[in-house]
């Protein structure tokens, strides 16, 4: 609390780390690249889990749990998959004091171990679809890490489904993408672009990777969720076969999809300001904090009692906290709860008490309103709803204002340095042009939008014929 | 489904594995000693988590998440701790394609990594108590494993608290023990003995270990939860210090406590029968299954519609499923849902439909009652409550009947082979007598009850003076 937060304008990256550590969301661990998720950060992850889990279950998915360890040989069965993940693996070579016969890899993702089980469980079209999700920790050996955004161990969910037809698998992949998109907007108040990854950016072993891409305040894009159509690549490698209605044998069609604790980093970067976190009410672990303000002891008794009663009244309907501490001043409390991102503060001082009201202050913009004590519960609900809506609107405006047309490659390269953001640009579809952009500008094709980008034009890089425009940006 | 379940009387151990695998709660994984928790098993774990998590939060605990990896040197800081856990550790020696400078141990339990963080976070008495819980996977390299009961990787919760005084720590340890005891009885319908472990059985690094002990149908005890008073052992090893109100520095007093996926194994073994699982209604993922019975097509339409409507009616209040499948007979469905342990079956056949009723059948004892359609919702609730109550009562009677007085060592040794169960016996308190029992009878002192066992007597083994009696049993 004592240390100041680096302003965003001075150093965005340090600002981020300051906010995450000083708000006590997370801390560095003694093991390089791993983080400790402290109660505030974990409560946010629990809120994310609870909401997404309900959406998965509503669409017929069940949770299960597969082993942390994967035999090294399994990873090698799908050629692209091993190429993508082997360099990032942590390897267990000893167990129970002995050297293992076959080293075990700690799951970087669980396709291989899960599909080895599906091969055992699936026999007939009657066993399909299999719609399983897992909440788990995974490990990818990262060189450059950053709290929540990129850590060696992270928490995530990974869905793994198996279907009888290609069409069903594609439908599932898009259903999940839409769940991710709506969750980001409706709960995180972060509008995103949804689309298809290019071949060079797709998941190792997938036919097609879809993603949602968000925009952070520094103008960099952040991939916030992915949904992969795996085709029959893994079912061939792991012999996941089923007998069709007509009695023939076919390989199942598979999908996998995931979001991770990276979403917590996105919440910080999308909404935070120089005073700290700024959480959307629907996910905030504490939605309302009540801060009494008194000068005399006589005031203190009455006002702190009024604060306590207000918390009591709001408790059933909202996640509320009355901060009745004696040893710190109201101003100190304001700062602390702003740092922790609580969306709404209710102040009650001598004048408020006399007027039978509370002064409501929004974390988002410090806008104040008087709330009559008699309407406290109803008004609190309304104000929280307004905050959630305003945060999304602000995010939408930011995304709109920072999505630009890339008219020429020279202009685009230059603009990237000053403003960042997303750029709509025509692309001929060649890997060469894609590679050139990446090398020369450090921007990548974030996604090929699913709709509305089918128009003829000239490739931003080579000038060649293009049938579509794509979103370009530098990214995390 | 096709395979028969080995009867308990024939081979209890095979019965257990048959029930777990055929009900699809869990399966073996390709990695030795690890298991796959399938949706039914995981849904039970989710029910356990949800209930316990609420109890922890009600008593002021917050969740957090600490790294999977522990530097090998950390484990060595507490002498007893490393002795207890080092032989069971899985060790990561390579990451990102390179050999690590210091090997990393996969957490067998998280005291060391968590308390290294507490040393950083705790400065003053104002920072205390710290009441943190973690839901996580842990790894202990086990030689002889059994699904749910003992697996190399398992899921659990581990609470880790720090207090300013020894008395507060002891209070916490007993508070949690009582939460575990009540959860076992109120939700799992498994009565337990709560007590203190002997010195030889306590957690590596603890001052005192408390536990709850349940009795399985084969007469073996099962340790179902532990709560450790760590004293200042770890706070000394990790330098977790705080400044007291008076300005002096002291080491914090710590506790840790946990229950694991082993509880799912306990549910199977305590309540299951030769037809499969038998789940207590409060934890059952499906509480009610509705099975329509028809002969003609005309009947089918009306009866299956009635079953569907009944499920619709019960849906908001209970976890219900209507089994409207065409391809299998009602008898086949009965067997399947009994195997999966659904507490209540509602049958509706032509005669039921005509009489405006359902036939309710309890999984517990197949007792049937007619339920008028008009009272369906109310009666279903009542019957489920009765089942939960009756399961606990049955468990209590079983525990009572299988807790015996050990009058002489010879009699006790002999009785153990034929009847199993708990034995109350006087013990002089010496490690020698304890060791002798273990070697000669394979029974151990399961716990020293907290109350009511303080009476003078003669040690079962040496005949020496004893101040207390303890519970002895063979165990899992």
B334 or A76, greater pLDDT: B334
A85 neighbors A154 (Cβ within 8 angstroms): no
Mind listing the pLDDT tens digit for each residue in A335-373?
999 999 999 999 999 999 999 999 999 999 999 999 999
Question: Which residues in B lie closer than 8 A to residue A42 (C-beta atoms)?
Answer: 62-65
Length of chain B: 476
Asked if B68's CB is within 8 angstroms of A153's CB, the reply is: yes
Quickly state the pLDDT bin for B418 (edges 50, 70, 90): confident
Omega before A38 cis (within 30°)? no
Asked if B36's CB is within 8 angstroms of A64's CB, the reply is: yes
In the prediction, which pLDDT does A2 show?
A: 52
Q: Please give the Cα distance from B267 to B279 (Å, whole number).
A: 7
In the prediction, which pLDDT does B218 show?
A: 95
- Nearest-by-Cβ selection for B141 from A29, A95, A141: A95
Question: Which residues in A lie closer than 8 A to residue B46 (C-beta atoms)?
Answer: 63
In the prediction, which pLDDT does A372 show?
A: 98
B193 neighbors B471 (Cβ within 8 angstroms): yes
Mind listing the pLDDT tens digit for each residue in B369-417?
999 999 999 999 999 999 999 999 999 999 999 999 998 999 999 989 8
User: Structural domains in chain B?
Assistant: 12-271 (3.30.930.10), 288-384 (3.40.50.800), 403-473 (3.30.110.30)
Q: Looking at residues B37-57, what average pLDDT do you find?
A: 98
Q: Give the three-state DSSP class for B219.
A: coil
- Nearest-by-Cβ selection for A31 from B71, B142, B152: B71
Q: Please give the Cα distance from A93 to B239 (Å, whole number).
A: 32
Asked if B71's CB is within 8 angstroms of A62's CB, the reply is: no
Mind listing the pLDDT tens digit for each residue in A246-279?
999 999 999 999 999 999 999 999 999 999 999 9
**A85 backbone dihedrals φ, ψ, rounded to 5°:** -105, -25
Asked if B29's CB is within 8 angstroms of A113's CB, the reply is: yes
Asked if B66's CB is within 8 angstroms of A89's CB, the reply is: no
In the prediction, which pLDDT does A198 show?
A: 97
Instruction: Give the β-pairing of B249-251 and B241-243.
Output: antiparallel
- Nearest-by-Cβ selection for A117 from B36, B67, B86: B36
In the prediction, which pLDDT does B2 show?
A: 52
Q: Give the three-state DSSP class for B329.
A: coil
Question: Which residues in A lie closer than 8 A to residue B155 (C-beta atoms)?
Answer: 65
In the prediction, which pLDDT does A310 show?
A: 97
Question: Which residues in B lie closer than 8 A to residue A38 (C-beta atoms)?
Answer: 64
H or E element at residue B438 = helix B431-441
Q: Please give the Cα distance from B224 to B210 (Å, whole number).
A: 11
In this prediction, the residues of chain A whose per-residue pLDDT falls under 50 are 1
**B1 pLDDT higher than 80:** no
Q: Please give the Cα distance from B232 to B227 (Å, whole number).
A: 15
In the prediction, which pLDDT does B426 show?
A: 96
Closest residue in A to B132 (Cα–Cα): A39
Q: Looking at residues B360-364, what average pLDDT do you find?
A: 98
The DSSP-derived string for B73-122 is HHHTTSHHHHHHHGGG-EEEEEETTEEEEEEEEEPSS-HHHHHHHHHHH-
In the prediction, which pLDDT does B143 show?
A: 84
- Nearest-by-Cβ selection for B69 from A31, A66, A74: A31
Residues 6+ apart with CB under 8 A from A99: A93
Mind listing the pLDDT tens digit for each residue in B294-328?
988 889 999 999 999 999 999 999 999 999 999 89
**B438 pLDDT higher than 90:** yes
In the prediction, which pLDDT does A3 show?
A: 73
In the prediction, which pLDDT does A267 show?
A: 98
- Nearest-by-Cβ selection for A64 from B37, B121, B132: B37
**A199 backbone dihedrals φ, ψ, rounded to 5°:** -55, -40
Radius of gyration in angstroms for the set of CA atoms belonging to chain A, rounded to a whole number: 25
How close does chain B come to A323, measured CA to CA in Å? 15
CB pairs A-B closer than 8 Å: 158
Closest residue in B to A33 (Cα–Cα): B67
Mind listing the pLDDT tens digit for each residue in B206-265?
999 999 999 999 999 999 999 999 999 999 999 999 999 999 999 999 999 999 999 999
Q: Going edge to edge, which strands form the sheet with A288-292?
A: A320-322, A288-292, A344-348, A357-362, A368-372
Q: Tell me which residue of B191, B168, B169 sits closest to B180, measured CA to CA.
A: B191
In the prediction, which pLDDT does A419 show?
A: 86
H or E element at residue B439 = helix B431-441
B259 neighbors B214 (Cβ within 8 angstroms): no
Question: Which residues in A lie closer than 8 A to residue B88 (C-beta atoms)?
Answer: 96
Question: Which residues in B lie closer than 8 A to residue A117 (C-beta atoms)?
Answer: 27, 29, 36
Asked if B139's CB is within 8 angstroms of A137's CB, the reply is: no
- Chain B interface, best mutation among A43, A53, A65, A137, by max B CB count within 10 A: A65
Beta partners for B258?
Answer: B158, B226
- Nearest-by-Cβ selection for B38 from A64, A71, A86: A64
A112 neighbors A238 (Cβ within 8 angstroms): yes
Instruction: Give the β-pairing of B288-292 and B98-106.
Output: unpaired
Q: Which residue has the tokens 């008495």?
A: B125
In the prediction, which pLDDT does A142 show?
A: 87
Q: Which 8-state DSSP code applies to residue B239?
A: T
In the prediction, which pLDDT does A80 show?
A: 87
- Nearest-by-Cβ selection for B65 from A91, A152, A155: A155
- Chain B interface, best mutation among A36, A58, A245, by max B CB count within 10 A: A36
**In sequence order, which ranges of A402-446 are alpha helices (DSSP H)?**
409-418, 431-441
Q: Please give the Cα distance from A470 to A405 (Å, whole number).
A: 10
Asked if B141's CB is within 8 angstroms of A96's CB, the reply is: yes
Question: Which residues in B lie closer than 8 A to residue A159 (C-beta atoms)?
Answer: none
Question: Which residues in A lie closer than 8 A to residue B34 (C-beta atoms)?
Answer: 67-69
High-pLDDT (> 90) share of chain B, %:
92
């Amino acid at each position: 609390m004592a240390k100041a937060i680096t302003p965003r304008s001075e150093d965005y990256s340090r600002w981020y780390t300051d906010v995450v550590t000083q708000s006590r969301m997370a801390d560095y661990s003694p093991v390089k690249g791993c983080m400790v998720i402290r109660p505030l950060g974990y409560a946010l992850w629990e809120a994310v889990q609870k909401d997404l889990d309900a959406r998965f279950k509503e669409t017929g998915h069940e949770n299960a749990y597969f082993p942390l360890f994967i035999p090294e040989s399994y990873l090698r069965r799908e050629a692209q998959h091993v190429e993508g993940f082997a360099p990032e693996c942590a390897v267990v070579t000893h167990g129970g004091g002995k050297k293992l016969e076959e080293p075990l890899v700690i799951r970087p993702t669980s396709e291989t171990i899960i599909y080895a089980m599906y091969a055992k469980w699936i026999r007939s079209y009657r066993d399909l679809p299999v719609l399983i999700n897992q909440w788990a920790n995974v490990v990818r050996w990262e060189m450059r890490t950053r709290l929540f955004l990129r850590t060696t161990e992270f928490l995530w969910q990974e869905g793994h489904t198996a279907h009888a037809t290609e069409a069903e698998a594609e439908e599932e992949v898009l259903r999940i993408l839409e769940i991710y998109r709506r969750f980001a907007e409706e709960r995180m108040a972060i509008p995103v672009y949804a689309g298809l990854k290019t071949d060079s950016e797709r998941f190792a072993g997938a036919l097609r990777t879809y993603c949602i891409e968000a925009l952070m305040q520094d103008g960099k894009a952040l991939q916030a969720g992915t949904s992969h159509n795996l085709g029959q690549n893994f079912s061939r490698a792991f012999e996941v076969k089923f007998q069709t209605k007509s009695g023939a044998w076919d390989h199942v069609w598979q999908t996998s999809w995931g979001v991770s604790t990276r979403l917590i980093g996105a919440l910080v970067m999308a909404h935070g300001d120089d005073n700290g976190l700024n959480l959307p009410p629907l996910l905030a672990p504490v939605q309302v904090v009540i801060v009494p303000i008194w000068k005399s002891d006589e005031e203190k008794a009455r006002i702190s009692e009024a604060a306590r009663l207000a918390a009591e009244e709001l408790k059933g309907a909202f996640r509320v906290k009355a901060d009745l501490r004696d040893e710190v001043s109201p101003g100190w409390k304001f700062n602390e709860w702003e740092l922790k991102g609580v969306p709404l503060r209710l102040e009650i001082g001598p004048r408020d008490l006399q007027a039978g009201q509370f002064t409501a202050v929004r974390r988002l913009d410090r806008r104040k309103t008087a709330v009559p004590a008699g309407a406290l519960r109803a008004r609190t609900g309304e104000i929280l709803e307004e905050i959630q809506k305003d945060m999304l609107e602000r995010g939408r405006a930011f995304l709109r204002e920072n999505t630009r047309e890339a008219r020429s490659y020279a202009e685009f390269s230059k603009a990237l340095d000053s403003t960042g953001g997303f750029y709509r640009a025509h692309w001929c579809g060649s890997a060469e042009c894609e590679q050139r952009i990446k090398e020369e500008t450090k921007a990548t094709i974030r996604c090929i939008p699913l709709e509305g980008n089918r128009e003829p034009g000239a490739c931003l890089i080579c000038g060649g014929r293009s049938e579509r425009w794509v979103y370009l940006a530098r990214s995390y």
